[in-house]
Amino acid sequence: MNWLFNNLGLVWSLSLEHIALSIPPVIIGFVVAIPLGWLAHRYRLTRGILLTIVGLLYTIPSLALLVILPPLIGIRVVSSTNVVVALSIYAVALMVRSTTDALDSVDADIKQSATAVGYSSWRRFWAVEFPIAGPVLLAGLRVVAVSTVSLVTIAQLVGVRSLGYLFTNGLQRFIPVEIITGVVMTVVIALVFDRLLVLLGRVLMPWTRTAATSRSAKRRVLAMEVTS
């Protein structure tokens, strides 16, 4: 335990660096996936193409992606840009699938009613479909946030500092406490992200607290837990 008390400053600064690397991919994933998810939801052709590409991207192991990406987009391997871009790719890949599922879960009758009372398709998307798809989107975003926080540790292997430093350094110096501290901090950050998203969901979607979520939405949330 001595190691922990002597290195609280290091753990704190690594945690901050870890958080700084984790936030951009989650936000980028959410924003980029909205138009792509809509495209996949709306047209059969783009659905096939997009979901296949996204599936392939998600299949590439993270360490391999961190090496393949730099020459493709002309950046250095050891740079936080590389890590953020790689993790954003995973986040987008996961979120496109969730967004498609989420938009699919909106009852066709609701959409027709919205059109019938005079919504344009742009307004209908933002005022009706997007909020109703919210709970499924949130479930997807939670998965993305938690897995991003955990994946950031891999960045250490290509030399970008994160809590992963405690794993490699702890192994080299035979300090189990150091590794355990790293694992615990990573899990804690992931759980805090998760809780924050749940709270944000309650604030932005107050109706989910009262009205029971529809059966199909529930099933989609469950399916997402399984498939990602």
Span 172-191, contacts to other proteins by CB under 8 A: 174, 176, 179-180, 182-183, 186-187, 190-191
Among 19, 23, 32, 63, binds other proteins (CB under 8 A): 63
CA angle centred on 78, ends 76 and 80, rounded to 5°: 95
- DSSP states of 11-40: HHHHHHHHHHHHHHHHHHHHHHHHHHHHHH
Question: Is 94 within 8 Å of 147 (Cβ atoms)?
Answer: yes
In the complex, what is the shortest distance from the CB of residue 99 to other proteins, in angstroms, rounded to a whole number?
Answer: 14
Give the Cα separation of 158 and 67 in Å (integer): 8
Measure CA of the first residue to CA of the last residue in the chain; give whole Å.
36
When asked if residue 85 is in the footprint of other proteins (CB under 8 A), the reply is no
Residue 98 tokens, joined: 């969730």
Among 1, 6, 9, 61, binds other proteins (CB under 8 A): 61
SS3 126: helix
When asked if residue 168 is in the footprint of other proteins (CB under 8 A), the reply is yes
Q: Binding marks (x or -) toward other proteins, 136..165, rule CB under 8 A?
A: -------x--xx-xxx-xx-xxxx---xx-
Residues that bind other proteins (CB under 8 A): 41, 44, 47, 55-56, 59-65, 67-68, 71, 77, 104, 106-109, 111, 143, 146-147, 149-151, 153-154, 156-159, 163-164, 166-168, 170-171, 174, 176, 179-180, 182-183, 186-187, 190-191, 194, 216, 219, 222-223, 225-228
